[in-house]
Structure 1
Amino acid sequence: MKLNSKGQVTIPASLRHQYGFFEGDEVQVIADGSTLRIVRTAPELGRGDRLIEQMRGRATTKLSTDELMALLRDE
């Protein structure tokens, strides 16, 4: 593996697959003594995801799914 002029390296495909790294994953490079470790970071939630997390579990209704759909469709 060779470091390019921008300080980048390519993780071989076999290692990416073995450890479950995918395009777009956020990673950190951590100094661990004389070794560098590449670790996946938890993705930051977007605005929509944060809203869903805030709303999760707050619905209070005794209507069935069919009744809700009829209400939403104005039937």
Structure 2
Amino acid sequence: MDTLKVTAEGQLTLTAELLKHLGMQPGDKLLASELPNGSVELRAAPKGDISNAFGFLRAQSGGRSLSIEEINEIISASWAGER
């Protein structure tokens, strides 16, 4: 676990190790979610725009229509880094 220091301006600097773990590059954005137990969850924000997903799904399906289950499977595999 890393300890981060808050600056006088209220900013944090994430370590290179954490940024690498999140797959972050300069200019990328983070999503921060406040959890009910007083914790904060950080996740890398999705890159690109939603229109990129349509071409990706079309390529994965060979042009045929996909069911919701197939779309969810493709999305899950993509987020897991399997595609």
Structure 2-normalised TM-score?
0.47
Cα RMSD over matched residues?
2.4
Query: Structure 2: which 5+ residue stretches go unaligned?
Result: 56-83
Question: Equivalent residue of 1:17, what SS?
Answer: helix
Q: Runs ≥4 in structure 1, deviation > 2 angstroms?
A: none
Structure 1-normalised TM-score?
0.50
Out of 39, 45, 59, the position equivalent to 1:41 is 45
Higher radius of gyration, 1 or 2 = 1
Code of the aligned partner of 2:40: L
**Identical amino acids, percent of aligned pairs:** 19
- 1:44 deviates by 4.7
Query: Structure 1: which 5+ residue stretches go unaligned?
Result: 54-75
What's the CA shift string for 1:12-71, capped at 9, x where partnerless? 1112112311111111211012101111222353xxx87xx6xxxxxxxxxxxxxxxxxx
- Check the 8 A contact 2:22/2:43 in 1, yes or no: no
